[in-house]
Amino acid sequence: MNIFNPTRPYHRTEIDLLFTKVKAQMHQEALVRGGDGVALYTDCYTGETLRGGDRYDYEHIRSSEEVFMTYRDRLSNAEIAEVVNCPENVAVTLRTINQSKGKTRMEDWMANSSNILNHNINVALTKKALAYADKGIQQKVKEITSRK
C-alpha cells in the first residue's frame, strides 16, 4: 500500500508531460474532423466552431491544481496526471475565456454574470461539460484505485 504525503505541494511536472501528449492526440483528431488540413474544434463553453489558427487553448475543465489537491492523499503524481488529463476533463475553449477564468472554478467564474455575457457562454453546454468532466474524473479515480 502506497502512502502519500497528504500535504505535499501542488506539482505539475507529470501532469504537463501527459497534457502535451493528450493535446497532440486531440490535434490529430481535430485535423481529421476538419478534413481540409485545418483543425476543427467546438468550444466547450460557447459551442462555437473553432478552426486551426483561431486563438484557442486546450483547457482542463477541472483545474489540475484542484484535482491534485483533492486526490494527493491517495494518488501518486503520475496517477493524478492520468486523472487530470482524462478525455472528459480536457477540451478546447477560446484563449480569452481560458485566460479570464484562470484557476477559478467555472461555477465561481460564471457567478459573475458579466463573464457569461462578455464571453458568450452557453450555460447549459458549460454545465454539461462540467458534469461530464466530473464523471470522467470519478471514473478514472475508481479505475486507478481498483488497480491497487
**pLDDT of the residue at 2:** 58
> Which residue is associated with the grid cell 503520475?
78
**Domain annotation covers residue 118:** yes
Q: For residue 4, is it within any domain?
A: no
146 by Cβ neighbours in 10 Å (0-12 / 13-18 / 19+) ranks as exposed
Specify the number of domains making up the chain.
1
Whether residue 6 lies inside any domain: the answer is no
**Is residue 100 assigned to a domain?**
yes
Characterize the bridge pairing of strands 90-94 and 56-60: antiparallel
Alpha-carbon span 24 to 125, nearest angstrom: 25
Whole-angstrom Cα distance, residue 145 to residue 125? 30
Confidence (pLDDT) at 62: 96
Residues 131 and 148: their CA atoms lie apart, in Å, by 26
**Amino acid residing at 145:** T
Mean pLDDT by 10 residues, the chain (148 residues): 78 95 97 96 98 94 95 95 98 97 94 98 98 98 93
> Which residues constitute the domain of residue 90?
13-143
What's the predicted TM-score (pTM) here? Answer: 0.93
